[in-house]
Amino acid sequence: MKNKNSQGAQESPSRCPDNSAFKQQKLPAWKPKLTAPTVLSSFFTIGVFCLLVGICLILYARSVKEIQINYSDICLNCSKLRENSSNWDKECNCSVYFTLQENMLGDVFMYYRLQNFYQNHRRYVLSRSDAQLLGQDVNIQNSNCAPFTIYPNGTPMAPCGAIANSMFNDSIQLFYYLNSSTAIKVPLLKSGNSWWSDKNVKFRNPTSYNLSSAFAGTTRPPYWQKPAYLLDEEDERNNGYINDDFIIWMRVSAFPTFRNLYRHLRHTNQFADGLPAGNYTFHITYNFPVTKFKGEKQVVLSTSTWSGGSNLFLGIAYTVSGAVIVLAGFIITAIHLKLRKKKTYFQR
């Protein structure tokens, strides 16, 4: 039998695959196994690491100074006035007094915060035309902007869509009382609040010899008081589609409660280090109606750290999971030492 086989092998080539490591499935391989020392040491390392990071995050979040004032509650007459949309051309101003107990040192940011405003509604998120916001001449009726595309007389809206139409249009100014009689306006910067990529890539003004002629043939959306080329007449680089407030509003938020950066402190004169403790007031021109959808508006003044704002969630989550992992490590060690079976090898 063997002789016949050996003779046959000389005549026809062998059908065995090559004797290479790849084809014989004998590649060098690492076969990790969940052994007790590796698992338990990794549990303790990860647990301690999470605990340390969590405590660090909590300490930094606690060091952030923040003050939040609900002005839709305080400015009740303005809220009621805005409930009726025929009052749109009546101006309503409101002043909110507050006191800072401690200095706010470093970068101070002023946000407006909205509650119960669902910017993450699907039809709302889609209702924009990025091509139009690039300054391109597009037919916005083919975009998702409906019904905020053209007026009955045929003039297209610039910018189109529901997101642009519902832009936040309150204006908030901050005043500091040097003494009980004199109030000075706190210097705040209105540009440099949006992402670089938004300001320089995603939003571009249409080109023409001047901005108002670039927007010729279009008109403002129905809820706006001024057209796009008058959003900031003082700064050409903050006018039209590249206005920072507009860009920030167009970056829709993920949750119904959100804060958008409105201004940040310019470090000049007595505000070189930050906001000193003392009496302040907000002068608000109230335009944005929120009572119809039971929303609320707040102004927030806050400093910031590398870990984000004053939200303690991440720090607490890290600490809790670190503690749970370390505890689990101890429990597993105990179980492993007490209850493991004697090493019974597989008997053939």
In the range 262-301, which residues lie near another protein by CB under 8 A? 264
Q: How far is residue 66's CA from residue 116's CA, in Å, rounded to a whole number?
A: 21
**Residues whose CB falls within 8 Å of the CB of residue 312, separated by 6 or more in sequence, listed in order:** 58, 61, 62
16 binds another protein (CB under 8 A): no
Query: Least CB distance from residue 88 to another protein, whole Å?
Result: 28
77 is a contact residue toward another protein (CB under 8 A): no
| Contact region with another protein (CB under 8 A), list: 78-86, 104-112, 167-175, 215-223 | 104-112
Q: How far apart are CA 252 and CA 87, in angstroms?
A: 27
> Which CB atom, from 87 or from 266, has the smaller least distance to another protein?
266
Q: How far is the CB of 180 from another protein (least distance, A)?
A: 32
Q: Is 26 in the site for another protein (CB under 8 A)?
A: yes
- How far apart (Å, rounded) are the C-alpha atoms in residues 205 and 226? 16
Task: Return d(Cα 271, Cα 168) in angstroms, integer.
Answer: 27
Choices 72-80, 154-162, 234-242, 318-326 (CB under 8 A): range interacting with another protein: 318-326
Q: Is 48 in the site for another protein (CB under 8 A)?
A: no
Q: Which of 313, 327, 330, 334 binds another protein (CB under 8 A)?
A: 313
Residue 57 CA to residue 158 CA, distance in Å, equals 44
Name residues contacting another protein, limited to 169-198 (CB under 8 A): 193-198
Nearest Cα residue to 199 out of 162, 237, 229: 237
Query: In the range 234-263, which residues lie near another protein by CB under 8 A?
Result: 248, 251-255, 257-261
Residue (of 142, 133, 212, 205) closest to 167 by Cα position: 133
76 near another protein (CB under 8 A): no
Q: Which of residues 134-163 bind another protein (CB under 8 A)?
A: 134, 136, 143
Report d(CA 169, CA 5) in Å as an integer. 92
